[in-house]
Structure 1
Amino acid sequence: MYDVFCSIQGLLKVDFVNTDNNIFRLHYRATMFILVAFSLLLTQKQYFGDPIDCIVEGVNSKIMDTYCWIHSTYTIPSLTGGVVGEEVPHPGIANPSLHGPDDQYEIKHHKYYQWVTLFLYFQAILFYVPRYLWKIWEGGKLEMLMIEMHAPILDDDDVIKERKAMLVDYFVANLHNNNVYAHRFFLCEVLNFINVIGQIYFTDRFLGYEFTTYGTRVLAFSEQEFGTRHDPMDEVFPKVTKCTFHQYGASGTVERHDGLCVLPLNILNEKIYIILWFWFIIVAVISGLGLLYRLATFHPAVRQIVLKTRSRMASMENVETVSRKCQIGDWFILYQLAKNMDPLIYSAFITDLAMRLQENSPADLGQ
């Protein structure tokens, strides 16, 4: 199992230049790592055995396993709560004819287990799409601006002063031309939120519209007294199911073989999806709060407060001067630089930038 996680540890590597934020990384790094790890775990037969094992008389067990894996198995949801050993042999498993008319019970077919591994991997790709778009749109701009600006001033004062002067010149020359850059990042944040909400309902449909209420039902089940509890996980992820195989007999008549199939992977699937239920909700809530924060930053006063918190070593007067001259795109560039630059260098940069902005007239600044 250690090999499984080692193979994907690269997904958690820290970038040299941080071009996004913690909420963004929660999607393309943490969530993607979780989904890929779960997908790989489900393929490890040495830990969890065969995905299906069927018991039936008169049919080769390997043929039965393959057939039931391909053509799905089924349970009777209304009998999931039956007393095991008295009313039913396993939750949701019974001969309907012994309990009443055949049409009295609705049969639920289970096909999802064929696709869980691929489905989780596909979800991981979707969580990476906004990150992929942002990498294309960002184009290494911040890394270019950050060359030799992350190290302490004492390393090479002359080089730092030269780079700082170039950065001030670049910023003044491109003042008010950074809004598209910022709006593209904001769009990716919106895409992250839309994606996680969509994934909740996508997963719900994949599991037969059982996912959105899955977590609440499991929580309610855990609070019930033992022996009187009806496990909702047996409905969504049954461990034993039925499968019917038809073949020709010696006389040419069609013979029916009813078999019981054990699904060992559902022990893992039920845990995976309860974790994902909580995780998706947590990510969705945090992303929603992040969007509210992003809306707030469209107000100049909020941007000034945020920039002050990121520029604690700089003069507040200089920060206010710079903030008043900046539009939201310019502010976003300054905020990104503050996260990556050495605080002392950033303080000196803000001081020089404030002096340059005060020297230039509004006409020179493109206002």
Structure 2
Amino acid sequence: MLYPIIEAFGKLGLPGVRNDDFFDRLSRKYSIIIFGICFIIVTTTQFVSNPIHCFTQMVDSKYKIDYVNWVCWISSSYYLPFDKPLPNRNQSRPEKIPYYQWVPFILFGMMILFYIPGFIWRKINRNCGIDTKVITSIIADMDPLHSENRQDTMNMLVKQIDKALTYHRDYHHGFMFSTWKRFSCLSCCSLSQHSGNYLVCGYILVKLLYIANAIGQLFLLNIFMGQKFYLYGFEVLQKWFHGQEIKALERFPRITMCRFILRTFGDNIQPYDVQCLLPINIYNEKIFLMIWFWLAFVSIMSIYGLIKWLHYFTFKSRKNFIHHFLKANQIDCYSENTTHLNTEILPTFVDRYCRQDGILLLRIVNANATKVLVGELVCALWNHWQKQRQIRIDSLPQHTNNHKGKLLEDHDNNQLGLIPLTIPISIINDDRYVTLPPQEIHKDTLVTGDYDITDRPGLPTHLEVKDTKGHILYNKEDAIKGKFAFTTEEFDIFDVCFETKLLHGQQQHHLSSQHTTKQVTIHIKHGVETKDYDALAKANKLKPLEIELNRLEDLSTSIVSDFAFMKEREEEMRNTNESTNTKVLYFSIFSMCCLMSLAIWQVLYLRRYFKAKKLID
């Protein structure tokens, strides 16, 4: 008879499938089940049996006895040890025991408080678009025997996750957007769905709510129970260690005293003191002792779970998590077939494709499914990303035109090589200013350019090459055809600018005529490409094999230099990420301590306020 009710409480704490970890389920599921069982026991004892029995010699009928029992039940009683005399009528009575009538409501309220953080987490999941509950359910129900259905299901999941990760990227551009994006990355607390850490911030918030809920309920119980209830468990442990009898007579007395006033004929008012037995406190003592230890256990485990997840969110932990499953499935994540890139691609997959929310999703699936299925999902995501990445690489020509965008973000800035570029300049109104896409060049690198501009009488074109600091590296007035060269003093971004202006007095003529177009062709080389091996062969009388060996030697030196530069940048970025994550960890711990201190202060303040208003004793 009791099992269906307990199962109902279990379903209340477990809505559908799991979309969190064990530490969350301690609060969301198991706490609700435990408090639900206690709620049933106390409620049954109060409303089915007689919760109080009062002894008096003044009454001689059953109805009068019931009257005394119910009056003492609803008006509260007080505890008086047997070694103390009964106070006189004019003396004040000890503090009343205010809680035992409200124990079912207290337990029900605790169940509601443990349910709220899980409800908030489900709302965050729905708003995010990455429904961890649905994905975990599909993974958990996947048939391990039918390989075809299993593969189809896995492909469907990968497409859905890829869409969610793609839709949650921000494709805006501009100075204000880039400034806000840098600020959001440094703060690591952006709640925008396009930031890549929306789900992570929500999950940390929910874990903080679980911690505040478990600790706060100890102090809320102290308000209702009194007698410094937050020290109850420590006192029991102290008595147990010293071999003393564990009693809680002052907090949960079995025998109490009750005073009530009885009006008889006329204006005769008589106060009476009766002795009452509270058998329900036998259950209350054991229940609230268990609740104290359970809340302490849940608080400690929730804090440990938060620290553990904060460690999971570090870049090193995220990379190791993905690498573990890729290595277990014999996938080499440090090499690729294409020759366009020669760097580690695992950090790109972790930090720019999956981002924080994608790793959190995989972590939650890993906490609720077998590692074999999680490994298959990670490998399927990896292979899908590699295919899409290879398609983008193959769609570009061998000599990449910068007008088509970057090949892969931040991976090919130093692999530009020979750049043949032809752009039209259309003269509209009085002038036209055109800037080539900026080029990132290494330190101490020779850069050469060969340009050819269509000659139009009356339409001079000025060529200018400058760096980000405004230094003019090359300037040519009325440029038609020529070359330029310079050596970079430091790693920087360089702009090649063309400007065409109408001569004075020709503006009205050109406004009334058709648009005039000038064609600009420019070839930019840097590094190894600037070396003329044909001239070197003629000067030194080298054989073709020797020329090729020189070319390979220079190319190898360039590749080693590029690798060293990329390694330095990667180490710098990694150190920045780890430093930021450490700062966020300390800030989160500090915020948690502040919230806990604020919660304790609020509880103490409310207790003092309720006492001042005579709402509690």
Q: Does 1:206 align with 2:219?
A: no
How many angstroms does 1:39 deviate by?
0.9
CA contact (8 A) 2:326 2:332 kept: no
Q: Distance in 1 between matches of 2:346 and 2:236?
A: 52
Q: For 2:132, which of 115, 118, 142 is the aligned residue?
A: 142
How many angstroms does 1:316 deviate by?
6.4
Q: Distance in 2 between matches of 1:250 and 1:16?
A: 64
Greater shift after overlay, 290-299 or 23-32? 290-299
CA gap of 1:343–1:303, structure 2 versus 1, over 3 A, is closer
TM-score normalized with structure 2 length:
0.50
Q: For 1:328, which of 344, 349, 356 is the aligned residue?
A: 356
Deviation by residue 1:22-68 (Cα, 9 ceiling, x = unmatched): 11111010001111110111122399832111112324111111111
Greater shift after overlay, 314-323 or 324-333? 314-323
Counterpart amino acid of 1:173?
T
Q: Distance in 2 between matches of 1:134 and 1:186?
A: 10
Which residue in 1 is equivalent to 2:118?
A: 131
Counterpart amino acid of 1:323?
V
Query: What are the residue-to-residue correspondences of 1:16-31 with 2, within 5 Å?
Result: 17-31=17-31
Counterpart amino acid of 1:12?
G
Counterpart amino acid of 2:131?
K
Q: Distance in 2 between matches of 1:297 and 1:142?
A: 17
Q: How many residues align?
A: 344
Q: When you count helix as a share of all residues, which structure comes out higher?
A: 1
Q: For 1:273, which of 278, 288, 297 is the aligned residue?
A: 288
CA contact (8 A) 1:314 1:347 kept: no
How many angstroms does 1:129 deviate by?
0.1
Q: When you count strand as a share of all residues, which structure comes out higher?
A: 2
Counterpart amino acid of 2:143?
A
Query: What are the residue-to-residue correspondences of 1:57-68 with 2, within 5 Å?
Result: 57-59=57-59, 60-68=64-72
How many angstroms does 1:249 deviate by?
3.6
1:242 partner SS: strand
CA RMSD of aligned residues (A): 3.3
Counterpart amino acid of 2:99?
Y
Which residue in 1 is equivalent to 2:314?
A: 299
Q: Does 1:114 align with 2:101?
A: yes
How many angstroms does 1:261 deviate by?
0.9
2:267 partner SS: coil
Counterpart amino acid of 2:79?
T
| Structure 2 stretches lacking a partner, 5+ long | 170-193, 334-344, 394-404, 411-617
Q: Distance in 2 between matches of 1:213 and 1:221?
A: 12
Structure with more contact order per residue of length (Cα contacts < 8 Å, sep ≥ 6): 1
Which residue in 2 is equivalent to 1:156?
A: 149
Q: Distance in 2 between matches of 1:64 and 1:311?
A: 74
Q: Distance in 1 between matches of 2:131 and 2:51?
A: 48
CA gap of 1:315–1:221, structure 2 versus 1, over 3 A, is same
Q: Distance in 2 between matches of 1:158 and 1:203?
A: 52
Counterpart amino acid of 2:77?
T
Q: Distance in 2 between matches of 1:56 and 1:223?
A: 41
CA contact (8 A) 1:239 1:267 kept: yes
Which residue in 2 is equivalent to 1:346?
A: 377
| Structure 1 stretches lacking a partner, 5+ long | 89-93
Q: Distance in 2 between matches of 1:34 and 1:161?
A: 37
Deviation by residue 1:135-171 (Cα, 9 ceiling, x = unmatched): 1221272345468553336152662464255246425
Query: What are the residue-to-residue correspondences of 1:166-185 with 2, within 5 Å?
Result: 166-167=159-160, 169-170=162-163, 173-174=166-167, 176=169, 177=194, 178-185=196-203
CA gap of 1:50–1:316, structure 2 versus 1, over 3 A, is farther
Which residue in 1 is equivalent to 2:87?
A: 96
Q: Which has the larger radius of gyration?
A: 2
Q: Does 1:75 align with 2:79?
A: yes
TM-score normalized with structure 1 length:
0.81
